[in-house]
Each structure stands twice: as structure tokens, then as C-alpha cells.
């Protein structure tokens, strides 16, 4: 069970989550934060709006959004079945989910769904299969795609949205998964928490959206650690490969370095020249690698169990990559250059 509220600041909606006490797997996979297993009575939104005075209201419309979330099999005419995340919503949803922007088509009507920009990546299908007007099948019914939307990079972009009453009818459910609410700026989320504690018959639990996603982050912490380990291993392999290439490039020029010393070049000038060459090569390589990353990986969608996210190559990433590349150019050229300069000129001239 869930209820959401908002404190009127820019910190995002405050999600209140409720689960039935009889749920048998509380100790497994953070079940309290699983919206798909959440269930609250359909009358709860009316009770909340009647009991709480803090809900934001404009033009006579209270910013309360009852929603039903469910993971189910989704297929289209030309693509195999994939696991998708469906959300049944009302017209109040955009009042609470303020990041939602309709990019193409219309809001879903009866028998229609609206697809997020990352749904194709989540389902593993082609983008053309989710074009406006195409059919899509789930829960034993054929639906029509009415539009495409973006959500500012949030998890909603990997979801399919449809009308709440249609979704309840298709799933033969009359309950809800959560209720999203915006509070007036002068109101506190403590009112919602107090209401949840007083109405023990509703079995409600309140939690801020930031805390909700923090709990998910803790749940995925081992996966994140494994991902960072892989990143460090791949980076280390790349660094050592670069150092080896730089070492080989300088070590093969021993006779050239000895010849330069013979005709009168000072060792300091030769060392500086080799470092400059290494830095120039590293800088060019870093720029090429950054360009390839921006072209091939920026915006690339990656899917996971119940969602998808897009990779973003930002300025910090480019700056970090170029900095590592320049450092590699300096550190990679210094050791072999110093070794070559320490070698006796006569021996170096005879080197093969």
C-alpha cells in the first residue's frame, strides 16, 4: 500500500508506502519498497482528501493521484513478449508528476496507453513497434498507443501509462498501489504521517520519495559495488595497456636518443621532447575516445529488472577521461625515457 505527498519544495514528491501486514516475504528483497506488491483500498484517496487539509488545491482540483502499478508481459505485433511496467493513472497524475512532458500524440483514452521514451529499451523491442497508433498487447487485451512522453530522466520513462479504470478492469482489480499527493507549501508531511498512524485500520505507512529511492539504492548496493569493481578492473587494464604501449614506443628509439646526444642535444631537452610527444598522443587519443563515447554511448538505454535508464556522458566524464589520458601520457613516457637516457651513448648506438 502506498500514499504520496509533497512538501511544496523542489525536493520532489513525498511517497508514502503501505504494505499489508500479512505479506510473507518482508525480509526478502526489501519487500516494503516493492510497489508491485502494494495494495490499498480504492476508497483511500477519498478518505485522505477528506481527512487532510494540506493537499494542494488549484481551480477546485486537489493534487491527489491514485495509481495502480503492475509488472506484466507486454508484446506487439512484430516483437516477442517482454516484461513491462504498467501504471494506471487518472488525469490528476501530471499535477503530481510534474516532470511528465507529452512529446507526441495524446493523453490515453479508453483502450489506449501512453509509452515512455525508454519503454522500447525496457521491452527489448524496436522503437517503431511503439509508434503512435500501433497496437500493443498485455493482460489479455489489445491496446492502442496514443502518445509518447518524457519524464526528465526519471524511472517513469520506462513505463506504460493507461487510464486507471481501464487497467483495473483488465487486471480484475479494484485496489490501488499508491496515492501521490502534493502538499501546500505551508503544510508539513508530518500531517500525513500522523494520519497514517491514527488510521491503523488502513495499514498505511508514510515514506518520503527520497527515502524510498535511498532504500532501493541500499538494496542494489552489492550490484553497484560489483559494477564499480568491473569499472576499476577495465580501467586498470586500459591504463597498463597504455603504459606498455608508451614504454614500447620510447624503448624502440634508443639509437635515436643516443644520436641526439651525440650531436649535442642535452638530456633535459630530449626528456622534455619525449614527454611532449607522449602528452600530445595522449591528448589526441583522449579527444578521439571522448568523441566516440558521445556518439555511441551518450543516451544509450540500459534495462534492468523493472525499468531502464539512459547513460549520460556529461562534461565531468569527458574532463575525467581527458585528465587520465594526459596523466597517462606523462607517466607513460617518463620511465622509458629516463632509462634510455641513462644508457651509455656507445652502447645505445649499437642497440638494435
Average pLDDT, the chain: 77
Q: What is the pLDDT of residues 9-43, one digit of tens each?
A: 434 433 333 333 222 222 233 344 567 677 788 88
Q: Based on the fold, state whether residues 213 and 227 are members of the same structural domain.
A: no
350 pLDDT tier (thresholds 50, 70, 90): low
Domain end: 200, 219, 238, which one?
219
The pair phi, psi for residue 78, each rounded to 5°, is -110, 0
Q: Based on the fold, state whether residues 202 and 250 are members of the same structural domain.
A: no
Q: Based on the fold, state whether residues 60 and 178 are members of the same structural domain.
A: yes
pLDDT at 79: 67
User: Which candidate, 241, 328, 250, 252, places its Cα nearest to that of 284?
Assistant: 328
Q: Based on the fold, state whether residues 158 and 187 are members of the same structural domain.
A: yes
* Burial letters 19-42, b for 16+ CB under 10 A, else e: beeeeeeeeeeeebbbbebbbbee
224 pLDDT tier (thresholds 50, 70, 90): confident
Q: Based on the fold, state whether residues 226 and 296 are members of the same structural domain.
A: yes
Q: Based on the fold, state whether residues 214 and 238 are members of the same structural domain.
A: no
Would the pTM count as exceeding 0.75? no
Percentage of the chain lying above the pLDDT 70 cut: 84
Q: What is the pLDDT of residues 178-216, one digit of tens each?
A: 888 877 777 777 777 777 777 777 777 777 777 777 777
Residue 86's contacts (CB-CB under 8 Å, 6 or more residues apart) are: 69, 70, 71, 72, 74, 113, 138, 139, 159, 160, 161, 162, 167
pLDDT at 14: 35
Cα–Cα dist 222/241, whole Å: 29
Which range among 97-106, 300-309, 329-338 has the greatest average pLDDT? 97-106
Structural domains counted in the chain: 2
And the C-alpha cell for 46? 477519498
Lowest mean pLDDT among 35-49, 203-217, 311-325, 330-344: 203-217
Domain end: 184, 219, 254, which one?
219
Q: Based on the fold, state whether residues 199 and 88 are members of the same structural domain.
A: yes
pLDDT at 351: 61
Question: Three-state secondary structure along 121-158?
Answer: HHHCCCHHHHCCCCEEEECCEEEEEEEEEECCCCHHHH
Domain encompassing residue 242: 222-349
Percentage of the chain lying above the pLDDT 90 cut: 10
Cα–Cα dist 179/17, whole Å: 9
And the C-alpha cell for 254? 634508443
Amino acid at each position: 500500500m502506498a500514499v504520496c505527498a509533497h512538501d511544496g519544495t523542489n525536493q520532489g514528491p513525498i511517497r508514502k508506502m503501505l504494505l499489508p501486514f500479512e505479506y510473507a516475504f518482508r525480509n526478502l528483497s526489501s519487500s516494503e519498497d516493492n510497489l508491485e506488491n502494494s495494495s490499498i483500498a480504492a476508497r483511500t484517496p477519498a478518505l485522505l482528501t477528506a481527512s487532510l487539509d494540506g493537499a494542494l488545491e488549484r481551480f477546485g482540483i486537489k493534487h491527489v493521484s491514485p495509481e495502480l502499478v503492475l509488472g506484466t508481459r507486454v508484446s506487439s505485433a512484430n516483437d516477442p513478449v517482454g516484461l513491462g511496467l504498467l501504471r494506471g493513472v487518472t488525469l490528476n497524475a501530471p499535477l503530481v508528476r510534474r516532470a511528465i512532458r507529452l512529446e507526441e500524440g495524446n493523453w490515453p483514452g479508453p483502450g489506449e496507453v501512453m509509452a515512455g521514451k525508454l519503454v522500447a529499451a525496457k521491452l527489448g523491442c524496436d522503437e517503431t513497434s511503439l509508434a503512435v497508433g500501433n497496437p500493443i498487447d498485455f493482460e489479455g487485451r489489445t491496446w492502442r498507443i496514443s502518445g509518447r512522453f518524457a519524464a526528465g530522466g526519471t524511472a517513469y520513462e520506462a513505463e506504460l501509462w493507461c487510464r486507471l479504470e481501464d487497467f483495473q478492469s483488465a487486471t480484475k482489480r479494484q485496489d490501488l498501489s499508491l496515492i501521490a499527493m502534493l502538499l501546500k507549501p505551508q503544510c508539513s508531511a508530518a500531517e500525513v504521517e500522523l494520519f497514517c498512524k491514527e488510521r491503523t485500520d488502513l495499514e498505511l505507512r508514510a515514506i518520503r520519495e527520497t527515502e524510498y529511492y535511498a532504500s532501493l539504492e541500499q538494496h542494489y548496493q552489492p550490484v553497484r559495488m560489483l559494477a564499480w569493481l568491473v569499472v576499476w578492473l577495465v580501467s586498470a587494464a586500459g591504463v597498463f595497456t597504455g603504459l606498455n604501449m608508451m614504454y614500447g614506443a620510447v624503448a624502440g628509439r634508443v639509437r635515436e636518443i643516443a644520436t641526439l646526444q651525440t650531436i649535442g642535444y642535452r638530456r633535459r631537452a630530449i626528456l622534455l621532447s619525449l614527454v611532449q610527444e607522449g602528452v600530445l598522443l595522449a591528448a589526441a587519443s583522449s579527444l578521439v575516445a571522448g568523441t566516440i563515447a558521445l556518439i555511441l554511448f551518450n543516451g544509450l538505454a540500459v534495462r534492468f529488472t523493472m525499468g531502464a535508464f539512459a547513460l549520460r556522458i556529461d562534461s565531468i566524464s569527458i574532463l575525467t577521461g581527458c585528465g587520465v589520458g594526459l596523466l597517462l601520457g606523462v607517466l607513460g613516457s617518463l620511465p622509458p625515457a629516463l632509462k634510455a637516457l641513462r644508457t651509455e651513448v656507445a652502447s645505445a648506438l649499437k642497440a638494435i
